Amino acid sequence: MTVAVHGVGTSHFGRQPHRDLVALAADAVQEAFLDAGTDDIDAVWVGTVFGPPGVAQRVLRAMGVTGIPVVTVENACASGTTAFAEAHEAVRTGRHGRVLALGLEQMSTAFAGAITPEPTDPEGRSGLALPALYAMAAARYLHLGLATPEQLAAVSVKNHAHALHNPRAQYSGRHTVAEVLASRMIADPLTLLQCCPTSDGAAAAVLAPATGGAREVTVRGVALRSGAPWNHRSPHVWGHDLVRRTAMDAFAAAELLDATDVDVAEVHDAFTIGEIVTTEALGFVAPGDGGKAAAAGVTALGGVLPVNPSGGLLSRGHPLGATGLAQLAEIVWQLRGEARGRQVEGARLGLVETMGGGVSVLDGNSCVVAVLEAP
């Protein structure tokens, strides 16, 4: 059975400690229901990382969604897209007729800065937070000559400029490469403007069988993988191999040979190096060309393959459980031609990639890649 996204919705993204999870979720769910033209659903999958026990039922109860199966999933940064992948499978197999996927997170009240490392992992016990893990990948690229500091900064310049056209983004602005490099150092060589912010927000999608409706966005293929053991035998930095394997699964499901047919993408750019590595792992650019592509405008609006027209995690924000479904909402708007000032003209195929990390020994916690097609 072919599955389509019938409706999407999001909250605003940013530090919103005055708004609880119920309010954030209501923004997203009510907009998704209105977009889909119905609030009649058979089941809900909810992605969240730091939500309290029972958070899914609590926020849904406030909207009158009760008495149906509700499943909460935690899969690090890919929690929202994992909820989407499972909702898609439930509809595809006929288990449920219409399903809501919801992602939500309020991080501003949970963390003052970076996410606290897990002390049971050796890396966590040594204090290796995620900014430092990504910084190691960036340092490796610089050492091997695969990127320059200016190319890293170009990703930030691009995505902050994209966010100027996204009224729901947490940050936006016209920065120069020099300004990005001069911002406060967080984890050498990554500066403040190269790191995603602490964010609160929610995003939702309604999935149901495709009927050929004028605003339905078809799910061509979706894949979910968990990380595999990663050590010195891989020639790639952390995360690359997991993204590559998941992308190959998604392309096969979508009946695509590779990424060359994709017109627009939302990828996991929690740090500038993340977008560079991911564009290479997905096959958008050749190995070692991710930084060059960003600096040359290849991945900017108006370029050959626009990446993160929403502003990405760097600018839209990164409320972990909500991020994947926020990416999905952006691609749906793009494929419908509803993205206004950040619209990629003529986009027919869109891609979403979310990769979560933080588990010792593995090359990533989890990854979801989805390919969607315009009405």
The secondary structure element, H or E, covering residue 221 is strand 217-226
Task: Say what the pLDDT of residue 233 is.
Answer: 85
Tell whether 177 is covered by a domain. Answer: no
- Torsions phi, psi for 363 (to 5 deg): -85, 25
Quote the tokens at residue 269.
């750019």
Quote the tokens at residue 338.
């509803």
Asked about 318 being catalytic, the answer comes back as: yes
Which one of the listed residues 160, 236, 268, 318 is annotated catalytic?
Answer: 318
CA-CA distance, 40 to 65, in Å (whole number)? 9
Tell me the pLDDT band of 364, cut-offs 50, 70 and 90: confident
Average pLDDT (10-18) is 96
Q: What is the CA radius of gyration of the chain?
A: 19
Task: Say what the pLDDT of residue 55 is.
Answer: 94
Question: DSSP of 74-124, one letter per residue?
Answer: -BTBTHHHHHHHHHHHHHHTTS-SSEEEEEEEE-TTT-SSSPPPPTTSHHH
Asked about 196 being catalytic, the answer comes back as: no
Tell me the pLDDT band of 362, cut-offs 50, 70 and 90: confident
Which one of the listed residues 6, 77, 88, 96 is annotated catalytic?
Answer: 77
Task: Say what the pLDDT of residue 202 is.
Answer: 98
Tell whether 259 is covered by a domain. Answer: yes
**Which CATH number do you get for residue 216?**
3.40.47.10
Tell whether 136 is covered by a domain. Answer: no
Structural domain that includes position 226: 3-111+196-373
Q: Are 169 and 315 in contact (CB under 8 A)?
A: yes
Each residue's pLDDT tens digit, 158-194: 999 999 999 999 999 999 999 999 999 999 999 999 9
Average pLDDT (215-234) is 93
> For the chain, what is the mean pLDDT?
95
Tell whether 187 is covered by a domain. Answer: no
Alpha-helical regions (H) of 127-239: 130-144, 149-162, 177-182
Q: What 3-state class would DSSP assign to 218? A: strand
Tell whether 171 is covered by a domain. Answer: no
CA-CA distance, 153 to 158, in Å (whole number)? 9
Nearest to 252 by CA among 364, 369, 89: 369
Which residue matches tokens 């406030």?
Answer: 62
Task: Kindly report whether the peptide bond that precedes residue 189 is cis, defined as omega within 30 degrees of 0.
Answer: yes
Tell me the pLDDT band of 112, cut-offs 50, 70 and 90: low
Tell whether 145 is covered by a domain. Answer: no
Nearest to 308 by CA among 203, 165, 159, 156: 159
Looking at the 3D structure of the chain, how many domains does it have?
Answer: 1
Tell me the pLDDT band of 322, cut-offs 50, 70 and 90: very high
